[in-house]
Structure 1
Amino acid sequence: MNVPTFIRATGVVLGLACVTSPAMARGDETPPDSICTVLGTAARYVGTTVTVRGVATSEGKVTTLADAQCKSGVALSIDEGNSHKRDVSSFRRVISGKNARADATVFGRFKSTGDATAPYVIDVYSVRDVVEVPADGT
């Protein structure tokens, strides 16, 4: 194999690697669990990192991620360090308006609070696939 052919073949291989790597990375993502599943078997998830999808709302300083199928929700806690991340700050802006809601996938640590009213919380590390939900729910 001569040098120009080798360089051309190397370029093709590198080009294919660049094109397929984002697709391969997306294939490794864990599909989100439902909030119903996580809360239904909460003891199994306490202290672990979860990826859940639901509808987020914010009332005052309390942000909740809920699922209408089981009519359950879990509080979201966003610490100061993670609140400056682009995805998290964008998420907070979307749900900060009055009656604002957003369908979102949340990634974070699932913890027990010891509070009977809100027994669990997710410490949010990142948020993706945020879609604003109109106030009328359509």
Structure 2
Amino acid sequence: MNAIVFVRAAGAAAMLLLAAGSAAARSDEPPPDTICTVLGTAARYVGTTVTVRGVATTEGKVTTLTDAQCKGVVNLTMDDAAGRKRDVVSFRRTVSEKGVRADATIFGRFEATGDARVPYAIDVYSVRDVNELPAAEGG
């Protein structure tokens, strides 16, 4: 009798683990790529939408997204249409007006710029998971 109860409990536990595992595997949003990954195969991404994570900073009027792992840099452009979105406005205020470095996930269109120094840019559609970084983390 105890063996039957144990088998049923173990079976129920296994079913719960399988259900939890498949629910975790079905995420609505894919994990962001790294800038290094996108720049490493840039031709594949030009003209497509990308989701990347990196450190955003603004110098003058230019906002960039960088990755220290590969020293990758892409410019970020935020047009007027995206500029009306709350997440983009908040992000722009954080990195431009406040002059803060921020770790962020950027979703936008990856384009070639024609500039030899920074050959690629992302036209920002949305921003999420923005975390201000301390100034002491020099970049």
Match of 2:110 in 1: 110
TM-score by length of 2: 0.77
Q: What's the counterpart of residue 124 of structure 2?
A: 124
In structure 1, the partner of 2:44 is 44
Q: CA deviation at 1:97?
A: 4.3
Q: Look at both structures and tell me which one has the larger radius of gyration over its CA atoms.
A: 2
* Off by >4 Å, runs of 4+ in structure 1: none
Total equivalences in the alignment: 115
The corresponding residue for 1:16 is: none
| Aligned counterparts, 1:88-103, within 5 A | 88-97=88-97, 99-103=99-103
**Cα distance per residue 1:71-93 (max 9 Å; x no partner):** 11100000011111000000011
1:33 counterpart = 2:33? yes
Long gaps (5+) in structure 1: 1-22
Structure 2 equivalent of residue 78 of structure 1: 78
CA distance in 2, matches of 1:107, 1:122: 8
Q: Partner amino acid for 2:104?
A: A
The answer for the alignment partner of 1:135 in structure 2 is 135
- Which consecutive unaligned segments of at least 5 residues does structure 2 have? 1-22
Write the deviation string for residues 36-91 of structure 1: whole angstroms up to 9, x where unpaired.
Answer: 00001100100110000000000111000000111111000000111110000000
Residues of 1 paired with 2:98 and 2:70: CA distance?
24
8 Å contact kept, 1:100–1:133 = yes
* Percent of aligned pairs with the same amino acid: 71
How far apart, CA to CA, are the structure 2 residues paired with 1:27 and 1:41?
25
Contact 1:99 1:135 in 2 (8 A): no
1:53 equivalenced with 2:59 (yes/no): no
Structure 2: distance between partners of 1:36 and 1:124: 18
Q: Take 1:61 and 1:30, find their aligned partners in 2: how far apart are those partners?
A: 31
Alpha-carbon separation, structure 1, partners of 2:135 and 2:52: 22
